[in-house]
Amino acid sequence: MVYFPKWKVVLVLLVCLLGVAYSAPNFLPKSATEDLPGWLPSQQVNLGLDLQGGSHLLLEVEVDEVIRQYLEGIAESARGELRTARIRARGLGVADQVIGVTIADEKDVEKARGVLSQIEPGASVEVDGTRITITPSDQTILDRRNSALQQSVEILRRRIDETGTREPTIQRQGDTRVLVQVPGLKDPERLKAIIGKTAKLTFQLVDVENSVSEARERGRVPPGSVLLEATEEDRAVGRQDAYLVKRRVLVSGEDLVDAHQSFEQRTNQPVVSFRLNARGAKKFGDVTTKNVGRPFAIVLDRKVISAPVIREPIITGSGQISGSFTVQSAQDLALLLRAGALPAPIKILEERTVGASLGADSIAAGEIACVVGLIAVIIFMAVAYGRFGLMADIALVFNLLLILATLSIIQATLTLPGIAGIVLTVGMAVDANVLIFERIREEVRAGRTPISAIDAGYSRALTTIIDANVTTLIAAILLYAFGSGPVRGFAVTLAIGIATSMFTAIMVTRLMVVAWLRRTRPQELPV
């Protein structure tokens, strides 16, 4: 153990040098790191919400709306199938997660049952006289709910990532809730606006056979149509406040592959340019070819953004959405369309804002704890083990630099529990050295020479060191696997600290001890 080949010496020195290089940016202002040459390390540790401030939101996904839309989709399919089969029916509707319809002619009941049985696999179709009910299975409903929540988490992640925010925490909580934490957020209101929109885009034909005023006077919308409001911006400037559009969706945002903010060439007004995939382009081309001269409503979250008249067939699959946009609102809409529509509306249940000053206080407290712990350990090691203790202290400093460098390289998010993990590592970092030095003392008392005592101390303490650190590493892995948020942050710093402390104890301290031993060749060990 006292023999150190040259390649090991080079390896230890190289790792220590890289640790210093990659940890150094954390001691510089952010502006200074941006001016560094590209070949130099410039990444800093990301600070969590509790350290740099930001927004904390607890959201609720209205998954019942997904189930309602799913059941209404089955009802619409049933209406179309019955119409195709020329079966007269009435009272088609949804109630208590059951789709019901009454067949006008009793002779058509069995035929209708056969037709409706093909609509939704796994659903039960029951007949009671002339009344037929379709009931989806409980497992289907549960799968739809879980899928909606999982999809919402993924879409929220894409939306927040596109705002340029780094290291957001987006986690599912329970059956309907999502926790969102965004460190360092400077504009929480914009984030809430982006999160809160469903962003469901559809293209539907305007009902030109009926008017909005007639529908309002009669208090009833014509079958096959729906009354939708215009956007708040259009109503504010005195434009049309509502539109009567066909219920059938001709093209949906599911076929959208790209969207970005641009400017309309003639008026230089902000617009959103979009591009559809091959399937969407074909449908868009067919619709615009067959409906030249008719207004085509562009609907976002059940509000009509605009309803331009189709002047000519659009077969390229590209187009523009115009409206009362500002540059920022056009950019936000493009972002929402790129990220995809939420499967259900989202409601903000809880909102907290952590101030930067509170984060600065946490960092200061963490720094004080680290410094006090470091000083106490340095003094103890120097008093207890003399020269060898000072070597362990130097290795401890390199250990902290390696932890900081690793966190910077992997771009981990450092939270207050993470700082606690580093403070714990400060105490644990020298335990391997304590085991080695105590073993060396025992070998000296047994009458061994300095070289033999050091060799035996390192070789015989190695097994105990590995056992102790592996058991702690297992605990850190379990904390990461079963924990979430701050608990994971603690587990990450703890695991990194275990690895770096073993390296510094077994390699760095030993290199210094061996170098001193070869240079001085002492008759007695100062331990």
pLDDT digits (tens, 9 = 90+) for 178-232: 888 887 776 677 778 778 777 788 888 888 888 888 888 777 888 778 888 887 7
The answer to whether residues 282 and 402 belong to one domain is: no
pLDDT at 166: 57
* Sheet of strand 296-300, all strands in order from the earlier edge strand to the far edge: 242-246, 225-230, 303-306, 296-300, 201-205, 251-252
The CATH number linked to 43 is 1.20.1640.10
pLDDT tens-digit series, residues 453-468: 888 888 888 888 888 8
Would you state the structure tokens that stand for residue 8, as one six-digit string? 């090991």
Instruction: Write down which residue in 98, 113, 138 finishes a domain.
Output: 138
Q: With bands split at pLDDT 50, 70 and 90, how would you rate the model's confidence at 478?
A: very high
DSSP string over 212-267 = HHHHHHHT-PPTTEEEEEEPHHHHHTT---EEEEESS-SEEGGGEEEEEEEE-TTT
The answer to whether residue 282 is domain-embedded is: yes
Q: Verify that 393 and 481 share a domain, yes or no.
A: yes
Instruction: Look at residues 498, 460, 462, 454 and name the one whose alpha carbon lies nearest to residue 479.
Output: 498
What is the domain count for the chain? 3
User: Cα(first)–Cα(last) distance of the chain, in Å?
Assistant: 18
Smallest CA-to-CA distance from 334 within 146, 197, 174 is with: 197
Mean pLDDT for 339-367 is 75
Look at 35 and 456; give whichever has higher pLDDT.
456
pTM for the full predicted model = 0.60
Q: Counting Cβ atoms within 10 Å, is residue 208 exposed (0-12), middle (13-18) or buried (19+)? A: exposed
Same domain, yes or no: 454 and 367: yes
At 506 the pLDDT is 83
Say if residue 472 is in the same domain as residue 360: yes
End-of-domain residue from the set 306, 328, 352: 352
Q: Is 20 exposed, middle or buried (0-12, 13-18, 19+ CB in 10 A)?
A: middle
In a domain? residue 175: no
Residue 483 makes CB contacts below 8 A (sequence gap 6+) with 490, 491
C-alpha to C-alpha distance for 30 and 352, rounded to whole angstroms? 26
Measured between alpha carbons, how far is 334 from 508 in angstroms, rounded to an integer? 53
**Are residue 370 and residue 474 in the same domain, yes or no?**
yes
Reference 390, options 382, 398, 401; nearest CA is: 382
The answer to the question of residue 177 being in a domain is no
pLDDT grade, residue 165 (50/70/90)?
low
- Domain assignment present for residue 527? The answer is no
Residue after which a domain boundary falls, among 352, 377, 405: 352
Contact 502, 428 (CB under 8 A): no
Indicate if 80 and 219 belong to the same structural domain.
Answer: no
Question: What is the SS3 assignment for 499?
Answer: helix
Tell me the pLDDT band of 359, cut-offs 50, 70 and 90: low
Tokens 């006289």 label which residue? 129
Q: Is residue 158 part of a domain?
A: no
Query: Dihedral of CA 286/290/295/299: which sign?
Result: negative
**Weakest mean pLDDT among 37-46, 270-279, 401-410, 493-502:** 37-46
pLDDT digits (tens, 9 = 90+) for 401-413: 999 999 888 877 7
Mark whether 295 and 276 lie in a shared domain. Answer: yes
One domain for residues 238 and 377: no
Does 264 share its domain with 117?
A: no
Residue 124 and residue 73 share a domain:
yes
The verdict on residue 146 lying in a domain is: no
Q: Is residue 293 part of a domain?
A: yes
Judge whether residue 154 has pLDDT over 70. yes
CATH code of 204's domain: 3.30.1360.200
Range name among 400-414, 415-429, 497-511 with the lowest pLDDT average: 415-429
* Sign of the four-CA dihedral 431, 434, 439, 442: negative
* pLDDT value, residue 2: 62
Position 162 scores a pLDDT of: 66
pLDDT tens per residue, range 224-237:
788 888 877 666 55
Whole-angstrom Cα distance, residue 305 to residue 299? 6
The lowest-confidence range among 146-150, 429-433, 476-480, 484-488 is: 484-488
Mean pLDDT over each residue of the chain, to the nearest integer? 83
Checking if the pLDDT of 348 tops 60, the result is yes
Query: Do 309 and 293 form a contact (C-beta atoms < 8 A)?
Result: yes
One-letter identity of residue 359: G
Name the band, by pLDDT with cuts 50, 70 and 90, for residue 477: very high
Under 8 Å between Cβ of 170 and 179 = yes
pLDDT at 355: 66
364 contacts 59 by C-beta, under 8 angstroms: no
Cβ atoms within 10 A of the Cβ of 202, count?
19
Is the residue at 426 inside a domain?
yes
Measured between alpha carbons, how far is residue 138 from residues 18, 130, 132 in Å?
A: 57, 25, 19
Q: Percentage of the chain with pLDDT > 90? A: 4
- The pLDDT-based confidence of 14 (bands split at 50, 70, 90) is very high
- In this structure, are 389 and 457 located in the same domain? yes
When pLDDT is averaged across residues 474-483 and rounded to a whole number, the result is 88
State the residue range of the domain holding 501.
6-51+355-520
- Chain segment 72-101, per-residue pLDDT in tens: 888 888 888 888 888 888 888 888 888 898
**Quick one: pLDDT at residue 17?**
92
Q: What local confidence, expressed as pLDDT, does residue 474 receive?
A: 93
362 and 337 together in one domain: no
For residues 366 and 151, the model is more confident at 151
Q: What is the DSSP letter of 526?
A: -
Rounded Cα gap, residues 9 and 507, in angstroms = 9
Question: Binning pLDDT at 50, 70 and 90, where does residue 163 land?
Answer: low
